Amino acid sequence: MKKTFTQVYSQYITQKKLNASLKKKIWRLRTHRFIAWNDFNKLTSVISFRLWQQYNHFKKYLVKPVFLFPFKSIFIVVYLAITICLYFIYKIFHFSSSFFSKPLPLSSLQAEIDGVSFIIPTWNKAKMVTDCVKKLSSILEIESPKVKKEIIIVNNGSADNTIKSITSINSSISIRLINLPKNVGFASAINLGVIESMYNYIYLMNNDMIPTPTFLSSIINFAQAKINQGSKFFGISSQIFFFDKNKRREESGKTYIYPYFGIIRAGHIVNSSNLQDPSPTCYPGGGSSLLNKHIFQKLGGYNSTIYRPMYCEDLDQGFLAWQYGFPSYFVPQSHIIHHHRSSSKKLTTDPSHYLFKNLLTFSLKNITSFSLFLKHIFYFPILSIIDDHHFNYLLGVLPIIPSIYLYKVRSLKYKYMHQDTSLFDFIKFEVKNDQF
């Protein structure tokens, strides 16, 4: 049947539209293919570049056998010889102490909250510490009126106008200033403040912290509830936030530790879903925590001999308190704002060097089980050989190993309620011991 002109024209138009639609689809597919191919090439380049970076980082270690490190090997052998010898001497003391050691005593009177002494060490941060004290005193004047309070600022040899700034603050809360002729370090400054404090409980606060309303009442209410239940504790941590909300969160106040190739590492849980309710924490941080002063002093205060110039002295105390049966807690409703590491920026050495060096010190002091000790003497020498940072930590710790083991033996004075093998994987320990 012969088609009419109208039918032919209509078919032509329909085909033309289909062709145009197909052309658009083909063009889109080609565009997507080009974008996908371009992305694939970029991804391949990134992966190749990263692999190339890793290759360059590790090839200097992989092509050099151990015998090409005579300088390192000498120090590593000395480190191992001293550590192994002192460890077995310690084990003799550990065995004998099991017959006469007793639990750390704490009377109900010493557990009561008769007041809180706020201790703030500072060094050349006049404006920052002044802002901190002003904000703190204004909150303390309102919150928990039945609790006695005082503020103690330990001026750690500051050369700026810290003295003038602090003495000009007007407050109904007692503010005392301890002036030191030189910087004695964080731990020693805290210990001096504790000696001068009047009350059973101390709240340690960094000079770069700004408390928020209800930070104290939240902690006091939680602490009083624990005391009323007859539960004894060492410390309670506030929740920490950074001033810069866009900055990646690195600390929260809820801490944990974990084993890492024979060394103990520490960290903060920063997932907000795990920071909703009060819960146990591995150690109360030395910049935003309430501590029982009697336990603090029974534990010897912050160790300023082996943890210098800063970092891990709070970890050591909190861990030891757990071993003696005194838990620490994290109260997320108590908020405090932190200028992260603003004080440590004045140090000439990278603060992370002191942190990891002192984590090695902590590991040596607190690893007691033979299995963990074997892992340490096996893995750490390897890390020291292939990585210069770990070797520098070894050099920093080597002269004080005898002092570390001396304090390790002294810690046997009281009976351990929890062993290192369970506490070192703290997250698993917390899950298993939900009675806390």
Local confidence pLDDT in tens for the 436 residues of the chain: 555 656 555 665 666 666 666 666 666 666 666 666 666 555 555 555 555 555 555 544 444 444 446 778 899 999 999 999 999 999 999 999 988 899 999 888 888 999 999 999 999 999 999 999 999 999 999 999 999 999 999 999 999 999 999 999 999 999 999 999 999 999 999 999 999 999 999 999 999 999 999 999 999 999 999 999 999 999 999 999 988 777 788 899 999 999 999 999 999 999 988 899 999 999 999 999 999 999 999 999 999 999 988 899 999 999 999 999 999 999 999 999 998 655 555 555 678 899 999 999 999 999 999 999 999 999 999 999 888 899 999 999 999 999 999 999 999 999 999 999 999 999 999 988 876 6
H helix or E strand, kind and range, residue 115 = none
Burial class (CB in 10 A: 0-12, 13-18, 19+), 188: buried
Interval 27-47: pLDDT, tens: 666 666 666 666 655 555 555
Interval 361-380: pLDDT, tens: 999 999 999 999 999 999 99
* Helices marked H in 398-434: 401-410, 420-423, 426-432
Question: Token pair of 304, please?
Answer: 């300023």
Helix (H, G, I), strand (E, B) or coil at 190: helix
- Sign for the CA dihedral angle at 276, 279, 285, 290 comes to positive
pLDDT at 244 (0 to 100): 78
DSSP bridge partners of 343 = none
Helix (H, G, I), strand (E, B) or coil at 277: coil
Distances (CA, A) of 323 to 57, 74, 101, 316, 319: 40, 35, 13, 11, 6
Residue keyed to tokens 């005082």: 150
Using the CB atoms, write b or e for 42-71: b if 16+ within 10 Å. eeeeeeeeeeeeeeeeeeeeeeeeeeebee
Question: Token pair of 8, please?
Answer: 């032919």
Cα 198 from Cα 293, distance rounded (Å): 10
In the chain, DSSP finds a helix count (H) and a strand count (E) of: 15, 11
Q: Is the peptide bond before 309 cis (omega within 30 degrees of 0)?
A: yes
Cα 294 from Cα 105, distance rounded (Å): 10
The DSSP annotation for 228-274 comes to HTT---SEEEEEEEESSTTSPP---S-EEEEEETTEEEEEE---GGG
DSSP bridge partners of 329 = 236, 280
* Model confidence, pTM: 0.82
CB 118 within 8 A of CB 136: yes
